[in-house]
Structure 1
Amino acid sequence: MATNYVQRGENLTITGPAATGGEPVFEGAIVGVALHSALAGQPIDVATHGVWEMPKVAADEIGTGDVIYWDDSVSLATTTETGNNELGVAVAAAAVDAATVNVRIRAF
């Protein structure tokens, strides 16, 4: 019997950057969504799996399966890779002017 199992890993408690509940958190290779707000250096619980509704750049037309990035400068999901962190994959299309997109978080 295995005795070194720690946890399922769907939610992790990390010490990382300042975070706002419901927004993405990027810490090294860990990508997740903050389950509550925390200041930098405080423990934060992050969900590392699941599909999350995220606000998006209005000008982006997003197709199902498109890679989604997070633009920290405006706190919006986007299809623009340059200068942004990979968040996950769109699980449904989102038209131009749509306010949100459903994103499956990229498991690390």
Structure 2
Amino acid sequence: MAKTFVQDGKSLPWTNGTGSDLSSGDPVVIGEQIGILAVDIANGASGTVYMEGVFTVPKVSAAEIGQGESVIWDASEGAFEDSLATPATGDVSGCCAAWAAAAAGTTTVQVKLNVGVGTVA
């Protein structure tokens, strides 16, 4: 193994500075990336965030998302939106792709985290 190896990069230690306590499974924005909390993390505390994998996450109910479609994290809704949405300030584009289709009227979607490709509006 290389002398410069740090870790496999599938998870990240993170300190919650959001002002709110967060729960395991919650999506969080870290820089231009989306991660999923592995554990509950109180405001000011540290914990592990998954940066790779497939997760069931909140979806804007009106959004219709196709399998493989790039999705947008809608910061104001706290949920993912389809690729036709216009990103607003704080939204993250290109951070995830739909693992499975999700019809309008549903409130969750399975997404695969895309490491290193997010863009914050």
TM-score, normalising length: structure 2: 0.77
Q: Does 1:35 align with 2:38?
A: yes
**Which residue of 2 is the match for residue 92 of structure 1?**
100
Q: Which runs of 4+ in 1 moved over 6 A?
A: none
CA distance in 1, matches of 2:86, 2:52: 21
Q: Percent identity?
A: 32
Asked whether the equivalents of residues 72 and 92 of structure 2 are also in contact (C-alpha less than 8 Å), the reply is: yes
Q: Does 1:13 align with 2:13?
A: yes
Counterpart residue type for residue 3 of structure 1: K
Counterpart residue type for residue 15 of structure 1: T
TM-score, normalising length: structure 1: 0.85
Q: Gaps spanning 5+ residues in structure 2: where?
A: 117-121
**Residue 82 (structure 1) aligned to one of 55, 79, 87:** 87
Distance change (3 Å), C-alpha of 1:62 and 1:30: closer
Secondary structure of the residue that 2:63 maps to in structure 1?
Answer: coil
How big is the alpha-carbon RMSD for the aligned residues of Structure 1 and Structure 2? 1.8
CA distance in 2, matches of 1:68, 1:58: 14
Asked whether the equivalents of residues 60 and 95 of structure 1 are also in contact (C-alpha less than 8 Å), the reply is: yes
Q: Gaps spanning 5+ residues in structure 1: where?
A: none
Q: Does 1:103 align with 2:108?
A: no
